[in-house]
A and B are shown apart, each in its own frame.
Chain A
């Protein structure tokens, strides 16, 4: 598997003791795993798109986000090459375009169930 140890190092952060160890000394934590220098640097840099390109699953990536307090949306903005403000503008425009496709219960139509 491409990025096996990258995935393993990230996914082990689902254990609270490992999160504490990472926050205490991230270099020591990373040295527990046979990661390449490039992989370690991607983590040090918080290069989220690079970590995905190196083979990590987004579902192991979110665990380091949880550990260090970076949200998935913040990771996403970086992957898009945008600031949070630019990304929020994109989402606002997308919401506006998408809303015509919504299909929601008619509050006044008295639609009932059960």
Chain B
């Protein structure tokens, strides 16, 4: 799997990106029981590392991209997605687990967009898709010269409570990866309960993959797709490439 991460990292770094828009979920580190947003975007110029109970992991703060983040926030609200805005933010393993394997020394500024997959009520997979579409539209109306990638994070199958703790579902993980590549709209018919039944309760993080897929062109192609089921998690990584279009004159 480390070969897969290396391939992803080399590819992303070769793209000379200006920003990574990272759809992830917070694990009750940034957001709290005082207010728990369905969707939230971080517009700060940097994000400190969360203390998840073990003291903060030894990383420098993650750089943000305030102009892009503010633009996305404005465009989302204008288009009917009333996203919460975080002017100060810490990031936890939802971002810090995937980011080091695809980035080096925080070379690319990050725009974190959090999705609630933890406390009910939670947004449906189809709503996450709609919000992803709105994110894509907002990115397209930003500076045309900017090079921006969208990342959808989250574990594939995992169940980390109850008598089935540790159970993974590799058949479903592979099927999900096939669907999100070839016919992502079919995933709109799934409920969170469907995902929980197929991949375990905590696999609902795949709605973040769906938001990513909705944000990019429908006819994007799969550059690579890797999967490794190990211990209590199905790990997947896919790279989607936008169709090449002639440059506008």
Contact = CB atoms under 8 A, between A and B. Distances in A.
Contacts of B167: 94
B143 interface: no
Interface of B: 1, 3-4, 7, 10-11, 13-14, 27-29, 32-33, 50-55, 118-119, 160-168, 170-171, 173-174, 202, 223-232, 234
Given A66-B53, A98-B229, A101-B227, A90 B4 contact: no
Contacts of A104: 1, 3-4, 226-228
Contact of A79 (B3, B10, B161, B202): B161
B163 A81 contact: yes
A11 B117 CA distance: 17
Interface string A85-114: 001001100110011011111010001011
Given A57-B28, A58-B202, A66 B173 contact: no
Contacts, number: 117
Nearest to B172: A101
Given A76-B232, A113-B224, 16 more contacts: A1-B33, A7-B28, A8-B33, A14-B52, A15-B51, A57-B118, A58-B161, A59-B118, A65-B53, A76-B166, A95-B229, A95-B231, A104-B226, A113-B11, A114-B10, A114-B11
Given A11-B33, A52-B162, A94-B167, A102 B4 contact: no
Interface in A30-70: 49, 52, 57-60, 62-67
Contact of B166 (A4, A14, A91): A91
A79 B1 contact: no
A113 B174 contact: no
Interface residues of A, number: 46
Given A52-B162, A76-B160, A114-B11, A103 B226 contact: yes
A11 B32 contact: yes
Contacts of A23: none
A26 interface: no
A50 B3 CA distance: 40
Contacts of B14: 113-114
Nearest to A100: B170
B150 to A, nearest CB: 18
B160 A58 contact: yes
A95 B55 CA distance: 31
30 contacts: A1-B33, A7-B28, A7-B33, A11-B28, A14-B29, A14-B51, A16-B55, A19-B53, A49-B161, A52-B162, A57-B28, A57-B118, A58-B202, A62-B52, A66-B54, A76-B165, A79-B163, A80-B164, A90-B166, A91-B166, A94-B166, A101-B227, A103-B225, A104-B4, A104-B226, A104-B227, A104-B228, A113-B7, A113-B10, A113-B224
Given A14-B53, A80-B166, A113 B223 contact: yes
Contacts of B51: 14-16
Nearest to A61: B161
Contacts of B231: 91, 95
A21 interface: no
Contacts of B166: 73, 76, 80, 87, 90-91, 94
B162 A49 contact: yes
A101 B163 contact: no
